[in-house]
Each structure stands twice: as C-alpha cells, then as structure tokens.
Structure 1
Amino acid sequence: MLRGAAGIAAAGALVGTTNLPAAARTRESTDRHCPFLEGAFMPVTEELTAFDLPVTGRIPRELNGRLLRNGPNVLGLEDPRAHHWMLGDGMVHGVRLRDGRAEWYRNRWVRSSQVAKKLGEFYPGPVPPDDFACNTHVIPYRGRILALQESGPLPYELDGELNTVGTYDFRGTLEGAFTAHTKYDAEAGELHALAYYPTWDHVRHLVVDPSGRVARTTRIPVPDAPMMHDFALTAKHVVVFDIPITFDPAAAERGDPVPYVWNRQHPSRVGVMPRTGGAVRWFEVDPVFYSHTLNAYDEGSSVVVDVTTYPAPFYAAGRGTDGPSANGTGRLERWTVDLRHGRVRQRTLDDRPQEFPRVNEALVSRRHRYGYSAAAADMSVAYLTTADGNPPDRAFSNALIKHDLLRDSTQVHRLPKGAAAGEAVFVPRDPADRRAAEDDGYAVAYVHNPDRGAADLVILSALDFTGEPVARVHLPGRVPLGFHGSWIPDA
C-alpha cells in the first residue's frame, strides 16, 4: 500500500535470496503472530503459466481481455518478525479470456531491482529512487499496463504477458511520488492522482492529460505528513481525506517497517478543492479510518462520496502482527459534503464487514447507482487478530455484494466457508453501448476454491447477481488475498 520512508525502515526486511515455503517461514517466528503469512494470505512460492484452463459453465464470448490483480507476495523472507504485509513484493495474477475460452493464467513478480536480485536476474538500466515492486494496483493506461504503488515508487509497466518492461514516468513528466489509486475520467480523458510523501509538507494533486503527460500539479498544504491512501474525484471537485495516520520519524529511526501511527492530535477532516485547482475548503469529521472510495459525484451544492471506513483508531503498522490492525470491520458509508452550509453528513449504507468497493469505471466522477464490494472472512479475522495470536470470537462469511444505492438495497452472492473472495471488478457487456443499463455486465473476482486448494476466476452476471456464476475458470494455483486489479479489454 505505502512505501516512501517506510521503505527506508523496511529495506532490511526485504532482502535475502532464500525462497522458503510459507509454512517454514511461519514456524520460524516464536514471538510474533503472522496472520498475513497464513491461510488465504499465504504467499505463493513460484510463477506459473497454464494454457486452455478448465471451465465450469460458459464464458461470455464478449469478454475479450485480461483480468489482472496485484497484491503483496513476499519473496525471500528470512525473518517473519520483520515482515509487514503491505510491504511484500508485488505479484500480478492474470487470466486471458478470448472468444469464450480461458486462454491462459499467469502470475509474475514485478521485477524491481530487489526482486530481480533475489531471482538472480539482471536488472536493466539505472535503479530509480524509492525503487519497489509495486504491489497495490494494476491499471490500463493508453495501451499500457501499469503496476502502481503510493508514496514514492515510479509505476512499473508490464507487457500483455505480465513481464516487466520497466519503470514509467509519464513521458518524463512525473516528479516525486505517485499513487496506487488513480481516477480516470473517461469523458475528459484525464488520469488524476493524489500523491503524498513523508518529507513533504503538502500532498500533490496530479492531472495527466490525454497526451499522457503530467499537465498540472497542485500542492495542498497539510501538517504532520499524513498517509493518504485514496481520494475522490467528481466532475467539478477533488476530495481529500486527511485522517489521523501520520508519519512518525521516531518509528522510522527505530527501523519500524511501517513508520505511521494513529495520531490523536491530528484533526480528522475532508478537503474539497476545485478540480481545476485553487483553494481547499476543509470540513472536520468524526475520527475514522477512511479506506477506499467507491465513487463520488456532484449533487447541487453538495459533493457525495461513497467510501469504506473502519472505526477509530486504526493501526496501519499493526499491533504486534505482520499487517494492519483494526478495532472493527470495514463498512460502506456515504459522506455528503454540503458546501453551502459547511458541514459533512456521514451515513452508514451497509454495516456488514466488507472492503474493496468498485463501480462501473465509465462512471468515475459521475453519479452512479450501483457498487460492488467483497467480504472475506480471512481478512476480517486477520485485521482483528491480536499480537498473541487470538482471533476474534465471532463468525464472518465470504460473499460478493452488489449495492443498489438508489433503492438502498443489496444483493449478496454467498460463498462457501474457506472461499475467500477478492475484489470484484465490473466489466460492461458492451462498452460501446451508451444506452445499456449501468449494471449490464459482469462482476468478476478471484475466489479461493477450498475443495481444490486453488483459485477460481468467478464470473457473475450483474443482472442476476445472486444466481449461479455464469462461469468458473479453474486456475492451477492459489491467488492469495491481496489488493486491487482491473479488467484490461482488448484494443
């Protein structure tokens, strides 16, 4: 998720050439519980390539492209006590669909200089600053495939078979940090980013124009170097979430893998800035951990943002485990910023445990009706597990969720015990059909199949969300729970 100064502290944790099995790594740890190295999170230890994948059901012939998903998959970890999930080396998993067939599955580590060294491979060219195997997102951009990270590293470009091409700096125009959560406005042809870095006294709103260059950078002053994992975009505004997770120089000095802390002295607030740049209006909100944006839009004199949040405090560095720690589970909320009266209304839309909200990408920054999210029991348990290894005394389920935000209702596609679900990406049935319904398409996700001990690519009809999957593509290996991905349609 983050890098920046965290990379300075974590550099020692990400060295070594011994690719130990995950079970052996876990056994080595005697004084620290490592839920993010176990179960659905357990890293895979090899790169696979498989062709003509078996399918249950029928793959829609209009699905021609690749479903890619990025996530941390630590390589060569020598000491689990120094591990943090968010700093694992990025690995991209992908399935290629064409003409009703699943042509191939591949998983590949992103070849940063350190990953290349661990694999005994040559790293071409000079090593860029803050080099890291980007582990958080993978997106299509103007015919390229980019693996993304926040707070420092340049994106890494991949080819169509997931091989690493090299770093990408938007034609030499990107200076400083980038983000993992870009927003692409299809109508304007603009890619937006909000970048932060531990040594900055500001965050930067970046606009990449249709030519592929960073055309505008707006610096937004903020105190305490906060972590800003995501943001929101509307047709008129940029929405900034300034929450009390801030850089801790003392933690960095100690060598903590993630030197960010919950800072009770830092105000919780939302900033709204004109999309063209200018002054930011700040609005205080109740302390909460803002996680991800589903989407946002303008409504009269208000800005409406649908987000996932966790109750305060939230510990990005964890509390003795090898990943983030929470006092509760993620839920879906609507934040309405009333610009006329200067206030923010926060309303819970769905309080069941969930994460990774997504929308039909054609509607980013415009009014939406539907959203999709994932509930993974393993993730809820890992976030709530204490340092002594005691998981919460409660039951969680696995499911994919479709939200109808106009009717304030949900449809839940329930999954079996042990079937941990990753992020669901919406794929339109016909992207060229401007008259199609917003949900005329498919929700696609990687889901663990406990009967096979491997993953399936599950394809659901968004119009029949609770029905049987249209197709299940059976992969030859596991896809550990990770972060974000995209549908990369054929040109």
Structure 2
Amino acid sequence: MKGQSRRRVLQAGAFAAVSGAAAGMTGGRATAAASATRPTSIPSARKSGGALPFLEGAFTPATKELTAFDLDVTGKIPRDLDGRYLRTGPNALGLEDPRAHHWMLGDGMVHGVRLRAGRAEWYRNRWVRSSQVAEKLRETYPGSAPADDFACNTHIIGYKGRILALQEGGPLPYELDGNLSTLRPYDFRSTLKSSFTAHTKYDPAADELHAVTYYPTWDHVRHLVMDHTGRLARTHRIPVADAPMMHDFALTGKYVVIVDVPLTFDEQAAQAGALVPYEWNHHHPMRLGVMPRTGGTVRWFAIDPVYFSHTLNAYDDGNRIVVEYTSMPAPFYAAGLGSGGPTATGAPTLDRWTIDLTRSHVTATRLDDLPQEFPRINEHLTTRRHRYGYTASAAEMWRAYETVDGQIPDTKFTNCLVKHDMLRSTRQVRRFPAGAGASEPVFVPRRGARDEDDGYVLSYVNDPDRGATDLVILAAQDFTGHALARVHLPGRVPLGFHGSWVHDA
C-alpha cells in the first residue's frame, strides 16, 4: 500500500463513530479570552456547489481556542462533582476545500469544564497537537512524531491519573494534561507498539483495560489487555477476513465479544485516493465472536447484518451472554454519498443480542426504536448486569446522516436525552427545544451512592437563544425534573463524539 493511501486509511479510523451534538454560535456571560491560536477560515459548503451538512449548523467547526474562568451558572452545581467533564470530536483546522473533506477526518478538539466546590472554574477547548496540527498552528512539535500520527478525535478517557485522547485503526493515544494541553503520544509505558482503539472497556473489578484493535493490512484483529500496572500484559490475535472495521466490542466477566461487521477495507479505493476506503461488503458475513478473556478458541455465531455502532454494556447470564448496543440498518455508507460525511439508511436504535452458548443461537431484540445513540451506563457496572442506561439524540445529526441529494427526512427526529430502565422495560425522555442538540450523556455517581442511578447525568446541550452551549447537569433519579445546574459556556461546542468525567486526582 502506498504511503499516502495508508495515511488516509489511518486518518479514517473514527469514520463510523456517531454522536449527539451541541450547536450554536459565540457569545456568553462568562469572561473569555481567545488563545494565541489564529482563527481559521472554514469556507461555506454551500458556496462550493452543494449542501455539506457536516460542515454547517451544529457541525460548523470552532475556529478559536477559548479559555474562560468563573463561568455563570443557573441553578447549583453539586459540591461533590470534583473533576473535569471532557468531550472530543473532529474539528477541521485550516480547511481549504470543503468538498474534499470528510467530517470524521477532522482534527481532534477537546472541550472541557472544570468543576470544584460547587463552582465552574473554567472552560477550555484545545486542538490535540499532532505533528500536522502543530504545523498548521505554526508551533514546534516536540521530538519525533509517531509513524501513524493523527490528532485523535473520537474519545477521551481518564486512565490511572492520565487523560488520553483516543483514535482507532493505527494512531497511538495522545496524553493531555489537566488544562487540556497536549503532552505526548502515549504507548502504555513503552509496551504498545501497534494500533489502538477508540472504545476501550475498563473492568473496575479486575483493574484491567481491554481493547480490540484493527489495522487495514492485518489478517486478524487483536484483543489487548492492560493490567493493574498500566502496561500491555496480553495480546490475543483473532483471525478475520477482509480487514473489517471494528469500532467497538463488548466485554463481560468471562468473555470478549467481537463484532465482525461487513464494513471492510477496499484497497483499490485506497490506491485511488479515497478519503474513507471502507465499503459495505455484501459478501462478508456478519457474525459475533465469543472468546474467553484469557484467550483461546473463538466461537463464531452468524447473525443478520446491521451496522453495529456502540456497546451500552454486556454481561454473563448463566450460559448466555447479553449485549446491549445501538445499531443502524444495513447497509451503512461510511464514505457517504456526497454529503461530506457518512450516510445511513435508517436512524439508530437501541437493541440487544442474547447469545445462548448452550444452543449456539443468537436472538436479536429491538429495545427502543426512538432514534438515539451514544449509550452509557454507570461504569462501575461495566461487565456486570446493569439496570439503567442513558442515550442521546440530536435531530440535526440524524438529518445529516440521512440527507441524500439535499432531501431532508421527516420530522420524526428530536433533541433529547433518554434514561432506560432495563428491568421494567420503560424509558424517560427529557426533551429539548428545536436547535438544542444534546451530546452524549455521561453518568457520574454521587459521592457515597448506594443505588445504581444515584448520581448525575452530564451533557453538553446547545442553547439556541444564547447561540452557545451549556453543560447541563441532571439528577439521574429525577431525570425529567428541573436541571440541577446549567453551566453557560462562552461559545459553541460543535457536534462531536465521546467523552468522560475525569475525577480530580
């Protein structure tokens, strides 16, 4: 594979991620100061001869790095929230030709709010300083850039006192400091030499971080385990055909569940210069692979094709494995159909696979057909049975995903956060006004909590009246009641991907 095509493949690693959004523009009640980064020009997509929804409206990239202190707040921030709410996403820097750009190849930008003692101390947004971003900003990149360098734009997590921005398909994570400045590529204490993933699974009971990684030139995928020391302790190679994209996976107390989706690498497209050389492959069977966490033989289960997006959680239930997840109908067009981003053939829904290991059978169940994505739980229960789950929906997101030839879908889409009760098969929907897209909800347990849902749900939500974004803090046990607090940010957080609550060390 030619070097240029290879790099394009690596930069496309996050192309199948989907997320909720916060939209709006400038202004705010906090005192803000732009950093030394010069503003960037983002040409209008419509001036280039057609609608590119992934560069407009809620998706419009931020053009400045901002720092604001002592943010204005409506309501009261719980005093036990002591840490940082962080979320990342693609944010094109110095884009010259919008029609030659794919949304998910945008340079990663992290948005963060520092909460402490009932105050919102600061808001910052910062580009991840890969070597390419440093060059665009006319900064000096420290040291030598890794071979597969990219400004990770898909997820950001806290791990053993570090803040890591994540990508998949090749690039190493980037480590950030507490003020969101980029420190260095991170290789897990000099033990990771290969591709990583955007969607890790941390098992708090075992103190292990798990990942399933892929790479376009491999004839396998890899299950990686980082142990309690933070080092790569085990690698299991799992043979697969056609170099599929594996954006996410599932983990239980006993097993790793591999989701082999028929979205596979197209080398001819890569050689021809395709921005996203992954195509829906009707000849590649969709299947689930079940492997013991300690490695060994993989059992494969054929299933009907869907586009598997994100795992809510998975757990063991006797001789069965339960995986709850979000999906979209097949086929899914990662490269899109001329809209500057991916194209879906239907809205995402919340679903469940039940894998019966005794009968060698998989049952698929639709849990909720409301358009929704970005599923999260109380992560203290990762790999164990959970009762509650949280998802988000941003109308502008789904309209962009389903926009073909400029035709906007019907009005079924809404802006909301959803709390699911899996025990009772019920949901609570917290709706927001038109233009108030909600991003991924993150659950934070209350200090001293005993109940699974005793805590807070945090999400960036656009305020169309201000033309800026708020950090909305809800009481999870009073999900549709008055918000505990709305932290008013000084600007707009573009629609993006995933994030985390990082407790103060």
The two structures have a TM-score, normalised by structure 1, of 0.95
**Is the counterpart of residue 253 in structure 1 residue 267 in structure 2?**
no
Name the structure 2 match of 1:416: 433
Match of 2:490 among 476, 481, 491: 476
Q: Paired residue for 2:242?
A: 224
Q: What are the ranges of 5 or more consecutive residues in structure 1 without an aligned counterpart?
A: none
SS of the residue corresponding to residue 457 of structure 2 reads: strand
Equivalent residues in 2 for 1:340-379 (5 A)?
A: 340-379=358-397
Separation in 1 of the partners of 2:202 and 2:107?
A: 26
2:75 paired with 1:61: no
CA distance in structure 1 between the partners assigned to 2:142 and 2:212 by the alignment: 29
Deviation string, structure 1 residues 400-443 (Cα, Å, up to 9, x no partner): 0000001000001111110000000000001x55xx10000000
Query: CA offsets, 1:301-335, max 9 Å, x none?
Result: 01000000000100111111111100100000011
Name the amino acid aligned to 2:490. P
Runs of 4+ in 1 over 4 A off after TM superposition: 9-12, 17-20
Residues 17-76 of structure 1 show CA distances to partners (whole Å, capped at 9, x for unaligned) of 996443x3424421x431110111110100000000000000000111000001000101
In structure 2, how many angstroms separate the alpha carbons of the residues matched to 1:109 and 1:18?
A: 12
CA contact (8 A) 1:73 1:90 kept: yes
**1:290 and 2:324 aligned:** no
Whether the 8 Å contact between 2:192 and 2:232 is mirrored in structure 1 is yes
- Residue 5 of structure 1, CA deviation: 5.8
In the other structure, the counterpart of 2:474 is 460
Instruction: Return the alpha-carbon distance in structure 1 between the equivalents of residues 389 and 339 of structure 2.
Output: 32
- Whole-angstrom CA distance in 2 between matches of 1:128 and 1:315: 30
Decide whether the 8 Å contact of 2:5 with 2:271 is kept in 1: no
Out of 332, 335, 351, the residue aligned to residue 353 of structure 2 is 335
- Matching residue of 2:89: 71
Where does residue 122 of structure 1 map in the other structure? Answer: 140
Residues in 2 aligned to 1:10 and 1:277: alpha-carbon distance in whole angstroms: 27
Of the three residues 268, 280, 287, the one matched with 1:269 is 287
Who is 2:414 aligned against? 397
Q: Does 1:485 align with 2:485?
A: no
Q: Which residue of the other structure, out of 294, 308, 314, is the alignment partner of 2:326? A: 308
Superposition deviation, residue 468 in structure 1: 1.2
Give the SS at the match of 2:45: helix
Deviation at 1:393, TM superposition (A): 3.1
CA distance in 2 between counterparts of 1:325 and 1:400 reads 23
Deviation at 1:136, TM superposition (A): 0.3
SS state at 2:152 partner:
coil
Alignment check: 8 A CA contact 1:10 1:255 kept: no
User: 1:441 is aligned with what amino acid?
Assistant: G
**For residue 8 of structure 2, what is the aligned residue in structure 1?**
8
Counterpart Cα distance in 1 of 2:5 and 2:417: 35
Identify the residue that residue 444 of structure 2 maps to in structure 1.
Answer: 427
Among 134, 145, 160, the residue aligned to 1:142: 160
Shift of 1:101: 0.3
Provide the C-alpha distance between the structure 1 equivalents of 2:399 and 2:41, rounded to a whole number of angstroms.
Answer: 23
Superposed CA RMSD in Å reads 1.6
Q: Given that residues 7 and 257 in structure 1 are in contact (C-alpha distance below 8 angstroms), is that contact kept between their aligned partners in structure 2? A: no
Deviation at 1:391, TM superposition (A): 1.5
2:243 is paired with a residue whose SS is coil
- In the aligned structure 2, how far is the partner of 1:82 from the partner of 1:263? 24
1:6 positional shift: 6.3
Runs (5+) with no aligned partner, structure 2: 13-36
Pick aligned residue for 1:213 from 217, 225, 231: 231
CA contact (8 A) 2:70 2:121 kept: yes
How far apart in 2 are the matches of 1:229 and 1:28?
33
Alignment partners' CA distance in 2, 1:172 and 1:74: 30
Q: Partners in 2 of 1:44 and 1:198 — Cα distance?
A: 31
Separation (CA, whole Å) in 2 of partners of 1:287 and 1:139: 30
Aligned-residue offset at 1:374? 0.1
Query: Per the alignment, in what secondary structure is the counterpart of residue 438 of structure 1?
Result: coil
Contact 1:6 1:259 in 2 (8 A): no
Pairwise CA distance, 1:390: 1.8
Q: What do the CA deviations read for 1:143-197 (whole angstroms, capped 9, x no partner)?
A: 0000000000000000000000010000111021000000000111000000000
Contact 1:10 1:258 in 2 (8 A): no
2:43 matched to 1:29?
A: no
Instruction: Provide the secondary structure at the position in 1 that maps to 2:95.
Output: coil
User: TM-score by structure 2 length?
Assistant: 0.93
User: Partner residue of 1:202?
Assistant: 220
The structural deviation recorded for 1:7 is: 3.2
- Partners of 1:11 and 1:208 lie apart in 2 by 24
Partner letter of residue 69 of structure 1? R
Q: How far did residue 247 of structure 1 move?
A: 0.2
How has the CA–CA distance of structure 1 residues 273 and 324 changed in structure 2, closer, same or farther, with 3 Å as cutoff?
A: same
Deviation at 1:98, TM superposition (A): 0.3
CA contact (8 A) 2:10 2:170 kept: no
